[in-house]
């Protein structure tokens, strides 16, 4: 089995830079090396020492580029790729005007397959090696996504979206079919190769109590699956949930009452939370997912990163395309930074890079498996050119340390900054200078 040695600057994390001072959480090597064999990272160390110790390894010289873990997008909607950047609406209108009409088009399995492939190719071009995606209501939408990801060798998490009310005909299932179709997809995909299944009620407004309970029962029967949904994204949405569930203590309670609150739950957005909701998320160890470009694009509000991290709630980072306005986790980090500024708590570049890799992986219960540049992790790796445009290069040229060199790429970078991408130990994207 051929070994590969990637040489360049390397960035790894040994701890959560929100939990300890960021300097204690990072390991940067000016001339580092990453030894890869059989799809896994074997060792990360000093480049020249690794080269001397492993003359058999095939060398991949990335010069000054920065080798890190592949980006992990913890919440997105692949069916919405075709309508990203649709103008002028807020959440409920945006769903009705743009999202549902596009999701209806995935009734055609060929269109679903093409959309899945387009999305995965865009993700890889942007340095994202894992996507956590909602499907449409159609079971074949999940098959299409898993099949396309399998062809790329990518680790993905996905599920068929369940909705049995407040959605157009053609986009609804019912409590029983949502349960049975999801169960069949779990049997087919969960744990097959690199695929994992997430039980996927879209959000409380589009599921009856009966459907939420059926999916809660399914999760109880398959507790190693993830469960993904949306929580407290916009104030109008929360008011609607109150009308639909007058007996619920709050939005989270609509899930909790149905057995849909648990440690392997992923709650997207989680912006306008009440104290009880934060307490319950913290108590059960459930994860929230920050979707900053979506939150500004749809006008949802400002996520409280500092407050939730202070409660030790796991936080993932995500594009939420097509509510999010970019496929790039660099642009997503930039938006997280901007929201942090508006909240008065700027995030350090180390924290941003951690969120896009280790943080998302932790939310997905895949710490040490993906999103990690360290021995034993799956070799999903993204190599960043820190001088990919003249605007970035002229700023980075003045940098006095790696953070000052990296931050312009976080704030201004896009797919042009992606020098190479490795998936399961294979280089699948390579661009720019050798
Ligand atoms: N809430 C329910 N469905 C969606 C969706 O598709 N995107 C976003 N951003 N929020 C949602
Ligand atoms: Zn979403």
Q: What's residue 192's pLDDT? A: 98
Report the distance separating Cα 26 and Cα 20, nearest Å.
10
Is the C-beta atom of 230 inside 6 A of ligand 1?
yes
Q: What's residue 54's pLDDT? A: 98
Q: Can you spell out the DSSP letters for 127-167?
A: TEEEEEEE--SSHHHHHHHHHHHHHHT--EEEE-EE--SSS
Same fold, 3-70+371-430 and 71-363: no
Q: State pTM to two decimals.
A: 0.98
**Do 416 and 386 form a contact (C-beta atoms < 8 A)?**
no
**Do 124 and 421 form a contact (C-beta atoms < 8 A)?**
yes
Global ipTM: 0.99
Hey, which residues does 289 pair with through a beta bridge?
268, 316
Q: What's residue 1's pLDDT? A: 80
Is the C-beta atom of 99 inside 6 A of ligand 1?
yes
Choosing among 3.40.50.300, 3.30.460.10, 2.30.40.10, 2.60.40.10, the CATH entry for 3-70+371-430 is: 2.30.40.10
Strands (E), 256-299: 265-269, 287-290
CATH architecture of the domain formed by 71-363: Alpha-Beta Barrel (3.20)
Is the C-beta atom of 75 inside 6 A of ligand 1?
no
pLDDT, tens digit, for every residue of 130-171? 999 999 999 999 999 999 999 999 999 999 999 999 999 999
Q: What's residue 434's pLDDT? A: 44
The domain spans of the chain are 3-70+371-430, 71-363
Q: Is the pLDDT of residue 263 over 90?
A: yes
Report the distance separating Cα 396 and Cα 403, nearest Å.
10
Q: Is the pLDDT of residue 433 over 80?
A: no
pLDDT, tens digit, for every residue of 65-83? 999 999 999 999 999 999 9
- What spacing in Å lies between the alpha carbon of 335 and ligand 2's midpoint? 16
Q: What's residue 432's pLDDT? A: 64
pLDDT, tens digit, for every residue of 16-33? 999 999 999 999 999 999
Report the distance separating Cα 427 and Cα 141, nearest Å.
28
Q: What's residue 387's pLDDT? A: 98
Taking all residues of the chain, what is their mean pLDDT, rounded to a whole number? 98
**Mean per-residue pLDDT, 389-404:** 98
Atom of ligand 1 nearest to the CA of 205: 2
Report the distance separating Cα 280 and Cα 147, nearest Å.
36
- pLDDT-above-90 percentage for the chain: 99
pLDDT, tens digit, for every residue of 95-111? 999 999 999 999 999 99
Q: What's residue 273's pLDDT? A: 98
Q: CB count, 10 Å around CB of 61?
A: 12
């Amino acid at each position: 089995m051929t070994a590969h040695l990637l040489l360049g600057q390397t960035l790894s994390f040994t701890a959560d830079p929100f939990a300890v001072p960021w300097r204690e959480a990072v390991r940067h090597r000016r001339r580092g090396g990453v030894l890869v064999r059989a799809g896994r990272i074997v060792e990360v160390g000093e480049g020249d020492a690794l080269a001397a110790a492993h003359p058999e390894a095939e060398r991949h010289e990335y010069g000054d580029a920065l080798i890190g873990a592949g980006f992990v997008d913890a919440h997105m909607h692949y069916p919405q790729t075709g309508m990203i950047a649709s103008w002028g609406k807020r959440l409920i209108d945006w769903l009705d005007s743009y999202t549902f009409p596009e999701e209806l088009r995935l009734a055609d399995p060929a269109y679903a397959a093409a959309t899945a492939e387009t999305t995965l190719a865009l993700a890889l071009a942007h340095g994202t090696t894992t996507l956590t995606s909602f499907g449409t209501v159609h079971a074949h939408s999940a098959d299409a996504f898993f099949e396309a990801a399998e062809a790329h060798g990518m680790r993905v998490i996905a599920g068929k979206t369940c909705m049995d009310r407040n959605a157009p005909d053609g986009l609804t299932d019912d409590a029983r079919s949502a349960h049975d179709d999801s169960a069949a997809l779990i049997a087919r995909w969960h744990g097959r190769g690199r695929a994992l299944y997430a039980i996927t009620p879209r959000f409380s407004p589009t599921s009856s109590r009966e459907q939420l309970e059926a999916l809660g029962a399914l999760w109880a029967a398959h507790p190693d699956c993830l469960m993904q949904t949306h929580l407290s994204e916009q104030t109008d949405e929360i008011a609607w949930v109150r009308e639909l569930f007058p007996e619920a203590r709050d939005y989270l309670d609509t899930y909790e009452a149905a057995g849909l609150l648990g440690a392997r739950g992923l709650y997207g957005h989680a912006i306008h939370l009440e104290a009880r909701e934060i307490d319950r998320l913290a108590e059960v160890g459930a994860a929230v997912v920050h979707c900053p470009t979506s939150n500004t694009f749809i006008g949802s509000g400002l996520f409280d990163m500092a407050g939730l991290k202070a409660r030790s709630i796991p936080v993932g980072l995500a594009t939420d395309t097509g509510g999010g306005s970019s496929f790039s986790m660099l642009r997503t980090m930039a938006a997280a930074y901007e929201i942090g500024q508006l909240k008065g708590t700027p995030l350090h570049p180390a924290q941003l890079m951690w969120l896009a890799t280790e943080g998302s992986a932790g939310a997905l219960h895949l710490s040490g498996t993906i999103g990690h540049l360290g021995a034993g992790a799956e070799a999903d790796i993204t190599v960043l050119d820190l001088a990919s445009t003249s605007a970035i290069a002229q700023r980075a040229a003045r940098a006095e340390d790696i953070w000052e060199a990296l931050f312009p790429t976080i704030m201004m970078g896009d797919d042009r900054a992606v020098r190479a991408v490795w998936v399961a130990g294979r280089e699948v994207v390579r661009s720019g200078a050798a």
